Chain A
Amino acid sequence: KNQVEQSPQSLIILEGKNCTLQCNYTVSPFSNLRWYKQDTGRGPVSLTIMTFSENTKSNGRYTATLDADTKQSSLHITASQLSDSASYICVVSDSNYQLIWGAGTKLIIKP
């Protein structure tokens, strides 16, 4: 069964600190993996999209990694800011363009 699991469910860190969010998937065949940021009361916004051949992709202070062999991805946030407080959702697409959504990690940045 195609599944996307994220950890931790929630995370609280102090402003300025780094953090890493995890995503494990069992989707096959794999097409691409996306990370979204969703602010409270808003729709998700895409941060990165990675295909099978890409190991890492950065978007400002956000860096996503992908290990297609172990079917794991991570999202690393550097020097966190209060505006990073949001839910981060991992989404994996199969070859039929079906998107399988993870439950998300709720990140809270405290001053």
Chain B
Amino acid sequence: DAGVIQSPRHEVTEMGQEVTLRCKPISGHNSLFWYRQTMMRGLELLIYFNNNVPIDDSGMPEDRFSAKMPNASFSTLKIQPSEPRDSAVYFCASLRERVGEQYFGPGTRLTVT
């Protein structure tokens, strides 16, 4: 298995632009997580899905952030409009069962200028 796949690996954009991050979880995994990591705040859970349904989005910072999981093999995290304080590494992770081991993707490094 290729593991969790994220794209793009790096994204540089200007403030105000829309940004879309993509994630393909490991086949057969039914839970998917989006995290954000910064030096200041460490790793923060933004949202997680179970069987394609959003279970907890309390970590989503504000309405500028939205996430979708249209099917079991694809999820997106969208920021519109982006701001410099959104600059961070965004990780996607998946796991097979709700108490199983979580596998992380390589992350997307987002820089908003």
Contacts and interface: CB of A to CB of B under 8 A. Distances in A.
B104 A98 contact: no
B43 A46 contact: no
Interface string A30-49: 01101000000111111001
Contacts, number: 37
Contact of B105 (A31, A34, A43, A103): A43
B101 A43 contact: no
A93 B100 CA distance: 11
Nearest to A103: B42
A39 B97 CA distance: 25
Contacts of B46: none
B91 interface: yes
Given A89-B43, A101-B43, A103-B42, A43 B107 contact: yes
Interface residues of B, number: 17
B93 interface: yes
Interface in B6-65: 42-45, 56
A61 B103 CA distance: 21
A99 B45 contact: yes
Contact of B101 (A31, A41, A49, A104): A49
Range of interface residues on chain A?
A: 10 to 19
A93 B45 CA distance: 13
Given A31-B99, A97-B99, A98-B56, A43 B42 contact: no
A19 B91 CA distance: 29
Nearest to A89: B43
A101 to B, nearest CB: 5
B37 to A, nearest CB: 9
A41 to B, nearest CB: 8
Interface of A: 31-32, 34, 41-46, 49, 89, 93, 97-99, 101, 103-104
Across the A-B interface, the 6 shortest Cβ-Cβ residue pairs: A43-B104, A97-B98, A103-B42, A46-B101, A101-B43, A43-B91
Given A32-B99, A43-B4, A44-B43, 8 more contacts: A31-B99, A34-B101, A34-B102, A43-B104, A49-B101, A99-B45, A99-B102, A101-B44
